[in-house]
Amino acid sequence: YSGPGSQQVANSWDNGNGIWFEMLAQKGYIIACVDGRGTGYKGAKFKKVTYMNLGKYEIEDQIAAAKWFGNQSYIDKSRIGIFGWSFGGYMASLAMTKGADVFKAGIAVAPVTNWRYYDSVYTERFLRTPQENPDGYDKNSPTEYANLLKGKFLLIHGTADDNVHFQNSMEFSEALIQNKKQFEFMAYPDKNHGIYGGQTRPQLYQKMTDFILENL
């Protein structure tokens, strides 16, 4: 995930995606979660280093972690993938572009791809305004690196997302298309940031599972 002040690695089991991760592990995949710079509970300096550069150090740490795993004897480094939702989807999008030489496949669900489209009360706390810090916005946008995509990429978004506007994925898709990149896109009609309702979640997780089995 890697969002500011967050924590995913803890001495407890995750009741959400943890069940899905367990299923993937049973199929032979090694699942790893890394709280890099910018996340919480490791001191103020560790958390605040991303100020004015949201995304820069977070993705560097995800790429570094993937490289470390790739150097272990029990890992096939040609089959490293990444999955993320929301800020995690932002990380997955950056990983598949800036980390294209490391990640073979990635799934980004409801990702931020342009911080100009996100809530100002959140974004400006970490990046200030676009006028004050244009580089902080532009240089940390996956859209700026669409030309670097190499691996298999699945982009997913609900059209009625009430948190990360659907326009994020539309703009990123257009950048990928204009760079002649092949990727998969799944839009969920009238679904919000959680992408649920009826048979939506079973279909979504089957889609992601099939993508992983086919590409990793």
Residues carrying an active site annotation: 86, 161, 193
Residue 161's Cβ-side half-sphere holds a number of Cα atoms within 13 Å equal to 24
Q: Which two structure tokens, joined as six digits, stand for 179?
A: 């760079």
The whole-angstrom separation of Cα 68 and Cα 70 is: 5
Q: CA-CA distances (angstroms) from residue 37 to 13, 47, 48, 88? A: 22, 6, 8, 14
Residue pair 83/106 in contact (Cβ under 8 Å)? The answer is yes
Beta-strand (E) ranges in the chain? 81-85, 105-109, 152-158, 184-188
Residue pair 34/82 in contact (Cβ under 8 Å)? The answer is no
* Strands ordered across the beta sheet of 105-109: 81-85, 105-109, 152-158, 184-188
The whole-angstrom separation of Cα 105 and Cα 154 is: 8
